[in-house]
Structure 1
Amino acid sequence: MSERVVISGGTVVTMDGGRSEYADGYVVVEDGRVSSVGSGPAPHVEGARVVDARGCVVTPGLVNTHHHLYQWVTRGLAVDATLFEWLTTLYPVWGCIDEESVSAAATAGLGWLAKTGCTTSMDHHYVFPADGGDLLAAEIEGARAVGLRFMPTRGSMDLGRSQGGLPPDHVVEEIDTILAATTDAVDRFHDASPDSMLRIGVAPCSPFSVTDTLLKEAAVLARDKGVRLHTHLAETMDEDAFCRERFGCGPVDYMESLGWLGSDVWFGHGIHLDDAAIASMAATGTGVAHCPSSNARLGAGIARVRDLRDAGVPVGLGVDGAASNEANSLLEEARHALLFARARGGPQALSVRDALEVATIGGARVLGWDDQIGSLEPGKQADVAVWRLDTLPHVDIVDPVAGLVLGDRPPLELLLVGGRPVVDRGVLVNVDEDALAHRSAAASRALLTRAGVTR
């Protein structure tokens, strides 16, 4: 059951339509939703837990729009490689994943995401070994255990190396198998209700690992089922060259030719986009999951976030797989988004509030969930983060939003998802952090042993 909670006395940053902020504000939570938010003394609510938020900033929970949770147990490999080098090193390892490794990775990864302020995460799972078990169900159970709102996507690869793709043949699937499994995933798990904690998406992996036939069929399937479409796109210049050589056009033009632009579509990364591609995406409402840390870790480049936002492209933040972003911190992505945008375009390229917007309501819009999450408004889901800014690293930073985005990661006083505590005074409520660490370490050792990798 959701508690009644009154959060009072903090700086409340709502991310509502008017971007309202209250220096001495309150948020009232009842029946899993925000019932009121405003300035001054909080109203009395009978039987409510009262949270003294003096010295804190209260924000919507952060929304993660691109991730690969299974990679949590393969961190620290190929750390100086390009994307294609990194993939070719790790594909054979990922070809050995099973239910236990995915369950351990997803639960640990989502637990850590929660501790960095994340209340909603998607996941792009696209490796399904024939003998791996029910991998999507394993990560869904991990999200339920931690208590996060979740949008896993049934990913896929059907273009193996023998057909000119990047992945080895043994980690790809037949198209009929993919479409049947994707249909089953939507039918089993997707919940479109307003109180949903679980939605499913359709997500073929990338232009260099998927045939055009699969992309076309996946789009038809997703639209028939009323769910969203996702893939990697425009992440590296290698990918751009691959598309131009193989398809005679750039990545966005290629996807448009297959019916893959629209308000129900978002692309992971979107780094190497020219003006025409950005215009096409803006005109169709196609979104981008910006992954600044992973992009930098792999040397892929810096996305044109200012240009994307100015054009009207929906932009959210993504941690990306933990094997290309070992920090796995969504709040750090907001900071890196700001810093990299300014490194590219100067100090006006992204403000601290822009960065928080992309991390909250921007991400909710990318996932098509902004009617329910992403801002603190009456009637919306009570996904709330309360951050302490009265400790040594932050206490004298004048602007609390600057303290949150530009400062070190502050202590997380409270994290609510649908009004239920997931983190309380920095501690995971529903799962044991030490147990998660031990289990994920064991799963990593077992996986690397199966794959013949020496630690």
Structure 2
Amino acid sequence: MPSLLIKNARNIISMDQQRQRYPGGSIFVEDQEIKAIGTNIPYETADTVINAEGKIIYPGLINTHHHLYQTFTRNIPWAQDCELFDWLMTLYDIWRHIRPEDVYLSAMVGLGELLKSGCTTSSDHFYVFPNGISGELIDEEIRAAHDLGIRFYPTRGSMSLGRSRGGLPPDEVVQDEDIILKDTRRVIETYHDHHRFAMVKVGVAPCSPFSVSRDLLKESADLARSYGVRMHTHLAETKDEEDFCKEKLGLRPLEFMEETGWVGDDVWYAHGIWFNDHEIKKIGTCGCGVAHCPSSNMKLSSGTFPILKMLQSGVKVGVGVDGSASNDSSSMLLELKIMNLLHKLQHGATALSAEDCLHVATRGSSKVLGWEDGIGSLEVGKAADMFMVDAGRLEFAGALFDDASLPIITGTSQVDTTIVGGKVVVQDGRLVNVNEALLSTQAQAAARMLETAAKHTKIDYKKIRAREAVTNAWHYLR
């Protein structure tokens, strides 16, 4: 088995149960597994030796919610600073033209940015399958993750209620429910790996309770549990969603999830802003997880996630950057700085420390994904997933007083080294397995083609449906 020795680090921030730190520490790895960690480990050589003098080592960050295909629709002027109706309609008009090569390139860019910001494991929620395009689009994301060397947790999403059936998405991007279920089985059987050091795990993820039928929600839950895989969906993102559920269904969003089998320790939701106190306690008791997406929630004015109540009630909380269309970035370290500042503003200066945010993005996120046996901390028996920053960098000068908080407090968005499963995938701030300049050129050209195609086939949605109805529906159908 290949071995790796990382020695003489300035500090190792383990994020283990006791949050131990190892000044001057070293780590020895065989294959993917950490075999020793500390200041006096009994190993002096290995197949690969990294002198980490002056470097601070952290466990790899874990992203629990993303839409990688949206990487080509960030910083679009006419999708910024506008109402949600205009924002979503503009983007659907682009997404309906997405091709397999766009999915691959957008995933390469998004996952590459995540790796460069210290993320070693990322989930993704893919649910846009344009008519006439290969249905195996999620395969392109998995191929990109393999090429980059990141640990990946794609979730096979779905939308079955198009505009002709009273839904919001254009009919061109929804699928027949039998096709959805068949392809979901294919993706699980082809790619899911139950091993604790797996490079790919797969989940089942209808887009939201309001873009698929009640039957598909129930059948998706049954399918996921028959394979022993996890379940993911958007929930409780806006106050309007709560009002709609009570008015149209006679149920609150979480009650609707309970009715369709979407509650349990194998389920995690994205956002979860508008749960009440009783629901938060229930989620904590039943073991559901929640992906906290601070930047997206702020940009779309959705509200502030009640993180203190969640944590106090035992809810599993992780961090997600969300899609680039509602974040415009895929930087996990930047997300943690925003998270830290948001909750100081909302809950008080001492509410959530930078180290607490790091804990949520590592151990917390691993629990949300049900992967705490393999990732989330640096300790013997866990995967060798980590990132390093050079304490000698100019942006850290005058800030070397708390190593655990350093990259979050200072707001750095890029790391020096990222290691996944004992393999270096970012070195000196650059991706190891890809030509970044070439990728950037190819990706921007593909994004421009999508934008151009959308301009030439733009639909006036205001003539299709009354603006008020669609504006209300957005919250529930995204």
TM-score tier by shorter-chain length is over 0.9
One of 393, 401, 411 as aligned partner of 2:404? 401
Partner of 2:122: 121
Q: 1:102 to 1:312 in 2, by over 3 A?
A: same
Q: Contact 1:57/1:386 (CA < 8 Å) preserved in 2? A: yes
Q: Which runs of 5+ in 1 are unaligned?
A: none
Alignment partners' CA distance in 1, 2:398 and 2:74 = 36
Q: Matched residues, percent identical? A: 46
2:55 aligned partner, one-letter code = C
One of 404, 411, 422 as aligned partner of 2:425? 422
Partner of 2:353: 351
Deviation at 1:172, TM superposition (A): 1.4
One of 383, 386, 392 as aligned partner of 1:390? 392
Task: Compute the TM-score of the two structures, normalised by the length of structure 2.
Answer: 0.91
Partner of 2:66: 67
- Name the SS for the 1:230 alignment partner: strand
Alignment partners' CA distance in 2, 1:254 and 1:121 = 28
One of 188, 203, 206 as aligned partner of 1:204? 206
- Name the SS for the 1:232 alignment partner: strand
Deviation at 1:361, TM superposition (A): 1.2
Task: Compute the TM-score of the two structures, normalised by the length of structure 1.
Answer: 0.96
- Name the SS for the 1:186 alignment partner: helix
Alignment partners' CA distance in 1, 2:420 and 2:133 = 31
Matches within 5 A, 1:193-272: 193-272=195-274
1:67 aligned partner, one-letter code = H
Partner of 2:80: 79
Q: Contact 1:207/1:243 (CA < 8 Å) preserved in 2? A: no
1:74 aligned partner, one-letter code = T
1:51 aligned partner, one-letter code = I
Alignment partners' CA distance in 2, 1:413 and 1:93 = 35
RMSD across aligned positions (CA)? 1.8
Deviation at 1:48, TM superposition (A): 4.1
Matches within 5 A, 1:126-165: 126-133=127-134, 134-165=136-167
Matches within 5 A, 1:242-391: 242-391=244-393
Partner of 1:49: 48
Alignment partners' CA distance in 2, 1:402 and 1:179 = 44
- Name the SS for the 2:65 alignment partner: coil
Alignment partners' CA distance in 1, 2:167 and 2:244 = 10
TM-superposition CA deviations, 1:310-366 (whole Å, max 9, x none): 111001100111111112101111111111111111022211211001111111111
Aligned residues: 454
Q: Contact 1:9/1:41 (CA < 8 Å) preserved in 2? A: no
Alignment partners' CA distance in 1, 2:421 and 2:110 = 20
TM-superposition CA deviations, 1:261-308 (whole Å, max 9, x none): 111000011111211221121111100000101111111111011111
- Name the SS for the 1:300 alignment partner: coil
Q: Contact 1:202/1:227 (CA < 8 Å) preserved in 2? A: yes
Alignment partners' CA distance in 2, 1:126 and 1:2 = 38
TM-superposition CA deviations, 1:185-221 (whole Å, max 9, x none): 1111111123310011000001221211111110000
Q: Contact 2:6/2:52 (CA < 8 Å) preserved in 1? A: no
Q: Contact 1:8/1:51 (CA < 8 Å) preserved in 2? A: no
Q: Contact 1:32/1:418 (CA < 8 Å) preserved in 2? A: yes
Partner of 1:4: 4
Deviates more, 1:315-324 or 1:84-93: 84-93
TM-superposition CA deviations, 1:393-428 (whole Å, max 9, x none): 213221112222111216522211000110011111
Alignment partners' CA distance in 2, 1:43 and 1:82 = 60
Q: Which runs of 5+ in 2 are unaligned?
A: 459-478
Q: Contact 2:9/2:56 (CA < 8 Å) preserved in 1? A: no
Partner of 1:107: 108
TM-superposition CA deviations, 1:77-130 (whole Å, max 9, x none): 311134454222212211111101101100111111100001000110000112
